[in-house]
Structure formats: C-alpha cells, structure tokens
Amino acid sequence: MKKTLILIVSAIMLIVTGCTGQSDKIFNGKNLSNWNFVIENDSISPEEVFSVKDHSIFITGKPIGYMYTKRKYSDFTLETEWRWLGEAGNSGIFLLIESPDNPFPRAIECQLKAGNAGDFVLLNHSQLAEYALPEGVTERPKFPVIPKKNNSNEKPVGEWNKAKIVIKEGHISVYINDLLQNEGTSPVTEGHIGLQSEGYGVQFRNISISE
C-alpha cells in the first residue's frame, strides 16, 4: 500500500511539472559559469566588472558592457531582483539578443535606469511593432524608446526591486514590482538574455527562468 501511494504521488508530481514547465536557475548563486561577457574595447577582464558574492551578482558599471546567457531562450518567464549600489543609476536587462558582438547588441532592452524601469529601448536597429516615430520626426533615433505605461513604482536606493518578464511568441510583458509596466511585440522570438553594465554599480539576485 505504501509503495502504491509513493508511485501515485510520483506520477502526480510528473504531471504537475509537465503542466507548469521547467525552472532553470540560470544563475547558480556561486559563479557565472552559465554566462559570457562583452566589455567595451575589451579594455579589462570581465572578472573586474562582473562578480559573485553572497549569492548575488555585482556589476561595477564601468566600463560599459554586459553579461549574457550562453544559450538562447524563446518562450519563457524571467524573474530577478535588483538594487543600486551607492546611488541610483543606470542598467538594463537585454532580451532576445540576436548577436552579442558589441556593447549595444541588436536586442530589446528592458530599461532599469532609475525612474524609467520598465521602458523599452530598441538597441541596434531592433524593432517592436508598437513603436512609431514621434509626430514631426522623420529620422529614427539611435535608441528609440517605448515608455512604460505607468509612473515609476521603483523602491528607494538600497531596497530591492523585482522584475518579471514574460515572452511568448515574441510578445514581451514587463512587470516591475508586480505592476504591468510595458508590452511589446518583437519579430524576433529567440535570443540570449543579458544584464548590463552602464556606469553605475548594481546588484542582482534570485535570477530564474521558466520555460
């Protein structure tokens, strides 16, 4: 009887796992073995910019660049927390990176810049269906922006913010501290994920992805 119950419970667990999808700790809390790095002009070693301590990722912000996942992802939910080190600054989460070959790759950035967390920035000629040139503008800006839907709901410096990003068949939904802040539709449906170094110290923790 006991053996039968164990088999039944095991079968239920398999069914639940199959329904909810698999969860992947793309950051193992110990090292950055699942990531590659881009540093502007290869001026210093990645270890001087990106490091791990107390199960968190620390990014100095200087020089600019990013760390990106070794594998590509398509339909997924990404969750992480971030906070500023010292003063509120600038960073971002790169989504659907097509070719990680320079500090601003062809990708969609979920902006984390203080006061603007949740904006979309279209990097290196990337595109979202929702973007249109502002009235009276005839030339596309270098870094087009699709502003977030609501006023900033970020926490004060030193406190943890939470980002949840859901991508399904190229449709991107961004939640900042549990509030839906932006949505966009990309013609690209698969790519690497990146965490940016852009001038300011930032810390990330509890990074996970489910597919």
Per-residue pLDDT reduced to its tens digit, 81-105 = 999 999 999 999 999 999 998 999 9
Domains and CATH numbers, the chain: 24-210 (2.60.120.560)
Nearest to 93 by CA among 162, 31, 34, 43: 162
> For residue 158, what is the DSSP state?
T
Q: What is the mean pLDDT of residues 106-132?
A: 98
Interval 45-88: pLDDT, tens: 999 999 999 999 999 999 999 999 999 999 999 999 999 999 99
User: pTM score, two decimals?
Assistant: 0.88
